[in-house]
Amino acid sequence: MSRVIRPVVLTILGVIWLAPLYLLLVNAAKPAAEYASDAVWRPIAEFALVDNIVDAWERAGLGEAVLSTVIYSIAGPAVAVLIGAAIGYAIVALRLKHGFFWFVLVFGGTVFPLQMIILPLFVGYAEVGLFDTRLGMIAVYAAISVPFSALVMRNFLGGIAHQVFEAAVMDGATTWRIFWRIYLPMSRSALVAVFILQATFVWNDLLLGLALSQSGDVRPLMTALTSMQSTYGGSQLPTVLAGGLLVSLPTVVLFLSTQRFFTRGLNLGQF
């Protein structure tokens, strides 16, 4: 019975979920002048996706921003994942005193509305010379990602029996070695999940990019892309969609290529 129900339910939901994506593809492929809001579902024979993508690429001047955005999306979350795992390890395995307090302190970083901290950050960055530097951007992206990372890692590492730690200590391993060689590899799927979610967030960030950078080779991608769409942009919807589609490709590929970490079998049970 459930063998039938599950695929059916999942397929129905899947179709609903894919419908807006269909709209995205179909309308991104329409010639800019052919798009009409009362015929969004209807595809048009003339296939202009490539033209629209090229148009978006040129209009927004995306080329320059790609490298820096790739760097931010890898470095920021990578640092955050490690830092988050480290404090999770400190609390759960090393039994850090007042662990809950420290955890709350770190997780508390997530309650502040980002919109309100960008102004003081901007002034602070300008004062210490981090404004408009890649290092500054990575630091802030890492900081933003740490609370989430700490929450997930703390809970995930909590699922590892403390005997694992004790046994490793018996074998004479250092705390660093236990962290690096045992706890991190055991939490692969959580690390990957946190990383891809945060990398996607950084890749799509607009707010921090606008606030803390200025020159072409430091500014991230979205600041360039959204200018097309602004009141003064005057770009057509198909062009905007094509641009959105283009910048979605890396994150989609990232999600697809990491799915193998989430298949049954890589579970903690095997350790």
Q: How many CB atoms lie within 10 A of CB 110?
A: 14
Q: Which of residues 71-90 bind another protein (CB under 8 A)?
A: 71, 74-75, 78-79, 82-84, 86-87, 89-90
The residue from 48, 53, 62, 228 that contacts another protein (CB under 8 A) is 228
The residue from 43, 61, 63, 257 that contacts another protein (CB under 8 A) is 61
User: Min. distance of Cβ 45 from another protein in angstroms?
Assistant: 18
List phi, psi (to 5°) of 248.
-80, -20
List phi, psi (to 5°) of 93.
-90, -45
CB 76 within 8 A of CB 198: yes
The residue from 43, 63, 255, 257 that contacts another protein (CB under 8 A) is 255
Q: How many CB atoms lie within 10 A of CB 194?
A: 24
Q: Which of residues 234-253 bind another protein (CB under 8 A)?
A: 234-237, 240-241, 243-245, 247-248, 251-252
The residue from 29, 92, 198, 202 that contacts another protein (CB under 8 A) is 92
Binding of residue 163 to another protein (CB under 8 A): no
Site mask, another protein, residues 133-162, x = CB under 8 A? xxx--xxx-xxx-xxx-xxx--xx-xx--x
Binding of residue 117 to another protein (CB under 8 A): yes
Burial class (CB in 10 A: 0-12, 13-18, 19+), 188: exposed
Site mask, another protein, residues 174-193, x = CB under 8 A? xxxxxxxx--xx--xxxx-x
Q: Which of residues 95-114 bind another protein (CB under 8 A)?
A: 95-97, 100, 102, 104-114
Binding of residue 254 to another protein (CB under 8 A): yes
CB 203 within 8 A of CB 65: no
Q: Measured between alpha carbons, how far is residue 142 from residues 91, 96, 193, 209 in Å?
A: 20, 23, 15, 14
By beta-carbon proximity to another protein, the closer residue of 57 and 235 is 235
Question: Directed axis angle between helix 99-107 and helix 63-92, to 10°?
Answer: 160
Amino acid code (one letter) for 2: S
Q: How many CB atoms lie within 10 A of CB 257?
A: 10
Q: Which of residues 4-33 bind another protein (CB under 8 A)?
A: 6-7, 9-11, 13-14, 17-21, 23-24, 27-28, 32-33
